[in-house]
Amino acid sequence: MTLKELAKIAGVSISTVSKALNDSSEIGERTKQKINDLAKLYNYQPNNIALNLKTGKTKTVGVIVPSIQNNFFAKVIMGIEEVLNSAGYNIIISITDESLHKEAKIVNTLSNGIVDGFLIAVGEETQIAQDFKHYVSATVKNKPIVFFDRVIKSLEYDKVIVDDKAIVYNVAKNLISKGKQNIVFASCIYNINVIKSRKEGYLNAIKNHQDAFLVEKDLNEFEEKMTDLLNNQKIDAIIAADEDAALLALKVAKQKDLKIPEDIVLLGFASTKIAEHVSPRLTTINQHGIEIGKSAAQLLVNRLDDGSIPPQRIVIDSTIDHRETT
C-alpha cells in the first residue's frame, strides 16, 4: 500500500493524506480520523527511506554498549527504550565487546545516514588508548552523542553518570565506623574510568586508617590473588567494584569457610537478579540503571530538538540495597 493508493481509497489528495498522518492542524479532525482508520485497515506503512531523504532525519538512535551480559546495561537499555519509543524513535543496539576497533567501526557506519544520534557507554580499549576520533567525526556529521556511565571526562558532550567516587567513599567510611580494620577493594575490570573513580573513593576513605588492600586482576587470575590475600591478612570487609569481582570474592570467602557477615562483610556493584539468587544474598550498590537510561535518552531527544543548548551533565545517586552479606 502506497501513499498514492491510500489517497485514492480515501478520495482525497496525496498531500491531504500526508498531512493527516502527520497530525497537521491544516486537516480537520474527522478527515484525520477517517484517513488514520483507513491506514490501519490497509496496514499502510510509510516509506521511511523516502521520508528520510526528504527530512534528513531517520528517527533512529544508535545505542552502543560494551556488553549486554552485564545486567546493568540491560537495565539502562530498558530506560532508553521507554523514552525513545515515547518520542517516536527507533533503536539500533550495538555491542563493542570492549573493542576500540569495533566501537569506531560501529560509530562510523551508523553516522552515515543511518541514525540521528548516539547513546554510548565507552569501551575499555577506547579508554586505554584515549582515541576519540570516531566521536569527533560523528559530531562533525551532526550526529550528537550522549555518554552514559562510562564517559570521557575531557570531552564536552552530554553525560549521565553515577558519582562512583562518592558512593564508594561513603561505603568505606561506613565500614570503618562499624569497626572494620582491613577493607579490600577488588575489581576484574580495573582499566576503565568508572572503576578508577571507585578506587579513588576507596583510597580517600581509608587514608590514615589502614593500608590499601587491592585485588585488581583479570578473571583468570582474580581468584588466586584473593585467596592469597585472605590467607595472609585478616581481612574483614571487601568492596567489589564490579559484578564478577563480587561473585568471585564471595566464592573465595565461602571456600575458606569464613562466616559472612560475621567474619567478613562483602558488598559490591552487581545486579539485583544475581544478588538475590546467591547464598548468602549479596548486599549491592544500586546504580539505578533504568533512571540512567531514561535521563540519557531524554538528553539526546532534547539535543536533537535543539542543538544549541550547552552540554548537560546529570548525576544519578546510587543507593545501598542491604541483604545478608553485611
Q: Where are the domains of the chain?
A: 3-46, 58-161+289-317, 164-286
> CA–CA distance from 143 to each of 58, 96, 113, 215 (Å)?
11, 19, 9, 40
Q: Are 93 and 78 in contact (CB under 8 A)?
A: no
> Which grid coordinates belong to 15?
498531500
Same fold, 58-161+289-317 and 164-286: yes
pLDDT at 52: 63
Rounded to an integer, what is the distance from CA 193 to the centroid of its chain? 14
Only one residue has cell 544500586, namely 286
> Which grid coordinates belong to 23?
497530525
Neighbours of 55 (CB within 10 A): 9
Only one residue has cell 555491542, namely 95
> Which grid coordinates belong to 16?
491531504
Q: Are 146 and 296 in contact (CB under 8 A)?
A: yes
Residue 214 phi, psi (nearest 5): -120, 130
Kindly report, residue by residue over 116-168, the tens digit of the pLDDT: 999 999 999 999 999 999 999 999 999 999 999 999 999 999 999 999 999 99
Architecture of domain 164-286: 3-Layer(aba) Sandwich (3.40)
Secondary element (H or E) of residue 34: helix 29-41
> Which grid coordinates belong to 157?
558532550
- pTM here is 0.82
Question: d(Cα 308, Cα 311) in Å, to the nearest integer?
Answer: 9
Secondary element (H or E) of residue 286: strand 283-286
Kindly report, residue by residue over 23-47, the tens digit of the pLDDT: 888 999 999 999 999 999 988 877 6
The band of 50, judged by pLDDT with boundaries at 50, 70 and 90, is low
In terms of Cα–Cα distance, which of 222, 218, 284, 209 is closest to 249?
Answer: 222
- Residue 49 confidence (pLDDT) above 60: no
Question: d(Cα 200, Cα 164) in Å, to the nearest integer?
Answer: 9
Only one residue has cell 532525519, namely 57
> Which grid coordinates belong to 158?
552530554
Q: Are 144 and 150 in contact (CB under 8 A)?
A: no
Only one residue has cell 480537520, namely 28
First to last CA, the chain: 62
Sheet holding 313-316, edge to edge: 90-95, 60-65, 117-120, 145-148, 158-162, 313-316
What DSSP assignment string belongs to 72-136?
A: HHHHHHHHHHHHHHHTT-EEEEEE-TT-HHHHHHHHHHHTTTT-SEEEE---HHHHHHT--HHHH
Q: Give the residue-averaged pLDDT of 173-182.
A: 97
- Residue 53 confidence (pLDDT) above 80: no
Kindly report, residue by residue over 231-259, the tens digit of the pLDDT: 999 999 999 999 999 999 999 999 999 99
> CA–CA distance from 194 to each of 16, 62, 142, 191, 270 (Å)?
53, 22, 28, 9, 14
- Which residues have C-beta within 8 Å of that of residue 306, sequence separation ≥ 6? none
In terms of Cα–Cα distance, which of 242, 234, 283 is closest to 263?
Answer: 234
Helix (H, G, I), strand (E, B) or coil at 158: strand
How do the residues of the chain divide into helix, strand and coil, expressed in percent and rounded to 5? 45, 15, 35
The domain defined by 58-161+289-317 folds into Rossmann fold (3.40.50)
- Residue 56 confidence (pLDDT) above 80: no
